[in-house]
Amino acid sequence: MKALLLIAHGSRRQRSNDEVIALAEKLKTECAEHYDIVQAAFLELADTLIADGIENCVRDGARQITVLPYFLNSGRHVTEDIPHDVDAVRPNFPDVEIQIAQHIGASTAMIDMLKATAVNAV
Amino acid sequence: MKALLLIAHGSRRQRSNDEVIALAEKLKTECAEHYDIVQAAFLELADTLIADGIENCVRDGARQITVLPYFLNSGRHVTEDIPHDVDAVRPNFPDVEIQIAQHIGASTAMIDMLKATAVNAV
């Protein structure tokens, strides 16, 4: 089974975290052909944290997990913190393949999305 | 003249800020038919700050300015801090129309972009 774990920063404002959880729910529907499990997790400040999110996926049967950072910039969180948290739990699940996808800000479609928003606003 | 001001949070890590500035440069090319001026500005921690960004646009001849928040969640920065900074400078430029577009995380295309990244990673 394949799992997708959407990782956001996490906020003290629960409404922000709920937006991410709702996004993961939508993504679950959209990616049903490709992923059996789609869940949200957070780097800090909110439940579920990355390690717990990975553990939940494995417990639900995942043997391939794709971690997708919902971050705009390739800052420390993307380049260091998320890989660190993922690497910390890898030894616990030697039979599970865990990979980190590119952060969403690196998507080539970002410029099109910004353009659409900018043009609609004129 | 119309200006687009792409607003990111701002980081102590200059490379992150440079990514936003590079994105604004790309957006300038993409939106040339719709905006005469396209620049990046930051909420905090980095130059140019929002107030200075707006002032620069006006000095360059802008009479309509669209502020585009490059933020994923509708947290305090989007709902309070950016509007606060924009409202603070409005009285200085009574002849300039300044509007705030929806933050990029609210784009309906976000789910498609996430799906594309997730599916490419499988």
A111 to chain B, minimum CA–CA distance in Å? 7
Taking residue B22's Cβ as centre, other Cβ atoms within 10 Å add up to 11
pLDDT in tens, A1-29: 999 999 999 998 899 999 999 999 999 99
Q: Is the pLDDT at B83 greater than 90, yes or no?
A: yes
φ/ψ of residue A67, rounded to 5: -95, 120
- The CATH number of the domain covering residues in A2-121: 3.40.50.1400
The answer to whether residues A66 and A34 touch, using CB atoms and an 8 Å cutoff, is: no
Average pLDDT over residues A94-118: 96
**Nearest residue of chain A to residue B79 (CA atoms):** A16
The closest CB to that of A27, out of B35, B101, B114, belongs to: B114
Mean pLDDT score of chain A, rounded to an integer? 96
Q: What's the DSSP call for residue A90?
A: G
The answer to whether residues B105 and A71 touch, using CB atoms and an 8 Å cutoff, is: no
Kindly provide the ipTM of the predicted complex, given to two decimals: 0.92
Q: Is the pLDDT at B28 greater than 90, yes or no?
A: yes
Question: What is the rounded end-to-end Cα distance, in angstroms, of chain B?
Answer: 46
Q: Is the pLDDT at A75 greater than 90, yes or no?
A: no
A74 band by pLDDT with thresholds 50, 70 and 90: confident
The answer to whether residues A74 and A108 touch, using CB atoms and an 8 Å cutoff, is: no
Inter-chain contact A118–B70, Cβ cutoff 8 Å? no
What type of residue is B61? G
Nearest to A41 by CA among A2, A82, A75: A82
Helix (H) or strand (E) holding A19, with range, is: helix A14-30
Q: Is the pLDDT at B20 greater than 90, yes or no?
A: yes
Q: Is the pLDDT at A41 greater than 90, yes or no?
A: yes
Contacting residues of B for A71, CB less than 8 Å apart: 72
The closest CB to that of B73, out of A16, A76, A122, belongs to: A16
Inter-chain contact A66–B35, Cβ cutoff 8 Å? no
CA B91 remoteness from chain centre: 20
B74 band by pLDDT with thresholds 50, 70 and 90: confident
Average pLDDT over residues B23-33: 96
Average pLDDT over residues A59-76: 96
Inter-chain contact A30–B99, Cβ cutoff 8 Å? no
Whether residue B2 lies within 8 A of chain A, CB to CB, comes out as yes
Average pLDDT over residues B19-36: 96
The closest CB to that of B68, out of A101, A107, A118, belongs to: A118
Contacting residues of B for A104, CB less than 8 Å apart: 72, 113-114, 117
Q: Where are the alpha helices (DSSP H) in B60-106?
A: 76, 82-89
pLDDT in tens, B85-112: 999 999 999 999 999 999 999 999 999 9
Average pLDDT over residues A27-56: 97
